[in-house]
Structure formats: C-alpha cells, structure tokens
Structure 1
Amino acid sequence: MKPNFKYVVILMAGITIGCGTSSTTVKSTKQKLEELVRAKSFQIECDWAVPLMTNSLNSISNAGFLPLGSTGNQINLIGNPNFLKVEGDTISAYLPYFGERQMGGAYSNSDNAIQFKGIPKNYEVMEDRKTGSKEISFNINNKTESFRVFITLSPNLTSNINVNSSERFSIRYRGDVMSIPSE
C-alpha cells in the first residue's frame, strides 16, 4: 500500500505548526518577564515556603502542626496571603515565616511574617544569558530587622525568593511572577 501524498503533506504541516507554537509561547513569556523587570512593576505570589530544616521545625512537623500537604522542609502556602511587590523604586513584602528566630522579636508582635516596605539599598538586576532568567538582589530593613533578598525570575514566569535575615534562619519561597493587578 502506497501512502497518499496528500496525507503525508498534511501530517508534516501539522507537526511543523505544532512545534512552532511552543517556541512562540516561550518567547512571549520571556518577553513578558523582560518587560515586567524593566518596568519595575511586578508581584510574586508564593505557593511554597522552603525553610531551613532544624530539629525544632522537624518536631513541629512530626506533631502535625503544619498545613495539609506540607513537610518540615516544604510548606504549602496555597490559601495563605503572601506577596512580594516591586512597584517602581518601592519594594514591599508579606511572606509567612516558618523557622527559628535567633534573636529579637517583640513579645507583643503576634504576626511573625517577613514584612517590609520601602526603597531598597543595593538593588541589582543581572541576567543569566544561558537560562534567560533574571536575578535580582537587594537589602531592605523594617523597624527591627534587616534583610538580604535574592530573587530568581525564570522565563516561564516562576520564581525563587531567598531571604536572609539579621534575626532569623534563612528561608526560600517558590511562586509565580505576574503583573500587578489594577485596583
């Protein structure tokens, strides 16, 4: 049986078109990331917190005090409010904290999240040409604590945020990068 030439041409055209659309999608998300970073107008919502595993956190995990679907070294944040926003020169964040404090922290402070809002120092953006990702780093303070923040934004619009604190063990967050919704 001879293959029908018409069917072969249609099949090849379908494969070519199918393969072409995936590169267009990657290109468009890469362009979107470039625009968001250049405009300094984006936000990150995190789905996972990845704290430094300690004996204390392991004990809390074993006791069943972490959210459903979480382990001691990976905590599900879906349904918990959190964000990191870059709006021009101002950066603000509210990131739930899971881990150990080394010092400080007032007894009256009932919210133990990592929170800050202000103009950062040493704001730097670098591009990893091999992966197409953007790496952002800065220092920022709140009333009692100073933070060194490292953000990696991938072309597929996912992110990793590493936060080093003057008073707490470091923690990492994984989430998605998006435009800031208009109010």
Structure 2
Amino acid sequence: MKNYITVFLLSFGLFLNCSASKTTATPSQIAALDELVENQSFVIESDWALPQTTNTLMALQNAGFFSTGDSASRISLSGNPNELKIDNETVSSQLPYFGEVQSTSGYNGSDNSISFDGELKNYRVVKNDNSSYTIRFDARSHSENFDVIIHLYPNLRSEIILKGAKRFPIRYTGYVSPISEAN
C-alpha cells in the first residue's frame, strides 16, 4: 500500500509541476503576433543556430573548433548578422549555415550561408491552439531549394527550420519583430 501512495504522490507532484510551467499569453501579445502574421511584414533575427549533430560536427567539437559555450548542436549567433525577412509576397534571408553539405556546386569561392531573395512560393499559415503560428513555404537560393518552417509564439520568440536539398537540416531560434523596428 505504501508503494501505491508513493507512486500517487510522485505522479500528482509531476502533474502539478507540469501545469505550473505552462505559460499563457496576454491578449496584447496575441494581438501583436496576429497583426505581424496578417500583414506578412516581419523580420526574424536569430540568436542560436541548432544544426543536426553529426559525427563530423562532433569531431570538430572534440578538436576544440567551437567557441566557449558553443557545441556541435548549439552555436551562438551573437555578433553574427543574420535575418529572415518576409515582406508581403517576398522573402529574403541571410543566415549562416553550420552543418554538413552533401553536394557542392563547385569551387567558385561562394560561401555556404543560406541566402535567398525572391517570391514566396506555397505560403501557408496555420494558427495553433496556443495562439502560436506555423508558417510554411518554399524558397530558392542560387543553387538550392529549401523547405522553410517558421514557428512564431506570442512572446515574439521564433523558430526557423530549414531543410535544404543539398545539406542537413538546421534550426534557428530568435525573435520576430515588425520590419520598421528592425531597420
């Protein structure tokens, strides 16, 4: 009987702990995010890059390649200019890439950053139950197609997931803001 009581108390404590950590958005935060998404006019600046951890990245980490505080699975973008901007029907990005590239397009001296600038293709928006948004679209750089998934939260946090045809997926976390504030 004592074991049942212990299990019940632990389960009840876990339930209370999980429900206490649930955050709710204020109506003003939800309205601000709704306006950003409805106007299709915002910019995301990321503070962390989260590449898919591979054996190659782990070897670089073990060799001491990463800065203090960074790892093969989490790299600070502090001081590293980056953005993904959606302005009506266009999208542009300038994001650093950390990870494995599966196929290169030659030795022309181009960098491996993720840069695209053009029309939004297959743009889809879903408002989730927690007042966050999931935005999906296709983008094209000079040599690669990308599936882009963006999660925007009422506290203006963001997550970008990029899946390229020639490289391993990467995630970025950061903040979304109106274009006028970012410039």
Task: Find the counterpart in structure 2 of residue 46 from structure 1.
Answer: 46
Aligned to 2:63: 63
Give the whole-Å Cα distance in 2 for the aligned partners of 1:118 and 1:54: 31
Contact 1:68 1:76 in 2 (8 A): no
> For residue 73 of structure 1, what is the aligned residue in structure 2?
73
Q: Which amino acid aligns with 1:69?
A: G
What root-mean-square deviation, in Å, do the aligned CA atoms of Structure 1 and Structure 2 show? 1.7
The equivalent of 1:85 in structure 2 is 85
Larger-Rg structure = 1
Question: 1:148: which partner in 2?
Answer: 147
Unaligned runs of 5+ in 1: 1-22
Instruction: Report if aligned partners of 1:95, 1:114 keep a CA contact under 8 Å in 2.
Output: yes
TM-score if structure 1 supplies the norm length?
Answer: 0.82
Q: Distance in 2 between matches of 1:110 and 1:68?
A: 28
1:136 corresponding residue in structure 2: 135
Unaligned runs of 5+ in 2: 1-23
- Cα shift at 1:107: 1.6
CA distance, structure 1, for counterparts of residue 67 and residue 120 of structure 2? 32
Output the CA distance in 2 between the equivalents of 1:119 and 1:68. Answer: 38
CA distance in 2, matches of 1:109, 1:31: 45
Aligned sequence identity (%): 44
How far has the Cα of 1:105 moved from its partner?
3.3
Q: Deviations over 1:75-130 (max 9, x none)?
A: 111110000000110000011100000112332234211110101211001110x2
**Which residue does the alignment assign to 2:100?**
100
Report deviation, 1:68.
3.0
**Structure 1 stretches of 4+ moved >4 Å:** none
1:101-180 maps to which residues of 2 (within 5 A)? 101-128=101-128, 130-180=129-179
- Report the TM-score, using the length of structure 2 for normalisation: 0.82
Q: Deviations over 1:4-63 (max 9, x none)?
A: xxxxxxxxxxxxxxxxxxx8x722121111101111110000010110000111111122
1:142-161 residue CA offsets vs partner (Å, 9 max, x unmatched): 22100000000011100110
